Chain A
């Protein structure tokens, strides 16, 4: 397959994600407006940071009067999960030149990681990833612009309901695989319990990272993969 075809395949695979990303980006822009940022600052944050959860968290900290450094440190901690996700993504790009990976890694997000790493390994190429992140990044920035424009008109009923979009998308990505292999369901339950336990003793962002790592580590011993699911 030519790299152009792979790119287009990635673009196509990203279509369902538009629906997960768009509501969150609109919700971010509406919240940002309410937090006192102007449209220019709101859009700039989406263009430069491209990490939804941390952007929404930053707004929350900003309105409570937090200083720059605490917000930046919290951003680093919350987004530290990208190191693990990036490792999974880059593991599939071993033949890709370094300079390309330095650019492509900007597009490592919860969504692009989720789609890319649940794809069959032979299909998940660097060009495919480029197609994928063109759509997720474009949607994120466009949704932010839309949200800024619509902030005054959007009924609260709609903007509040958008909050569930991201979780719904992750559930939609995990469950079909759980149906194929119920041991993955056990992994899900173990990880959820670990996350609750860690959440009692550390900030949520660290709990997420710890539960992700320990859950997958334990999974090595109890999840059996058939050759089909290993793909």
Chain B
């Protein structure tokens, strides 16, 4: 029962964060700077989600995150699809753990 309340609480606060912009950001925004800000957010957000967190993806084996991220970086730089990028990074990490 305790676990159910934990899950319920987590789901309510998570949904609240998703609902807030629906309630407060629904009017058309014509200010070009605000528009540009919102267009740049995806890139800054994804950067912040990856770095430096990726370095501690395995805190006992720092090279896992470094080499995994570098693999993804190189593959995507050379125009590979996201599918190849993800599988490539996983395979390289598997090899590292196997060695």
The interface of chain A, by Cβ under 8 A from chain B, is 15-17, 19-20, 23, 37, 41, 44-45, 48-51, 54-55, 58, 62, 68, 71-73, 75-76, 79-91, 94, 98, 101-102, 105-106, 108, 110, 113-114, 117-118, 157-158, 160-165, 167-179, 184, 187-188, 191-192, 194-196, 199, 204, 207-209, 211-213, 215-217, 219-220, 223, 225, 230
Contact = CB atoms under 8 A, between A and B. Distances in A.
Contacts of A88: 38-39, 41-42
Interface residues of B, number: 74
A163 B58 contact: yes
Given A44-B7, A157-B98, A167-B57, A177 B52 contact: no
Nearest to A45: B7
B39 to A, nearest CB: 7
B46 A173 contact: yes
A72 B13 CA distance: 7
A168 B89 contact: yes
Interface string B1-19: 0111111111101111111
Contacts of A165: 86, 89-90
B86 A172 contact: yes
A76 to B, nearest CB: 4
B44 A49 contact: no
Contact of B46 (A15, A162, A170, A194): A170
B70 to A, nearest CB: 9
A211 B48 contact: yes
Nearest to B54: A167
A71 B10 contact: yes
Contacts of B22: 86, 90, 98, 101-102, 105
Contacts of B41: 84-85, 87-88, 117, 212-213, 216
Contacts of A113: 42, 45
B64 A167 contact: no
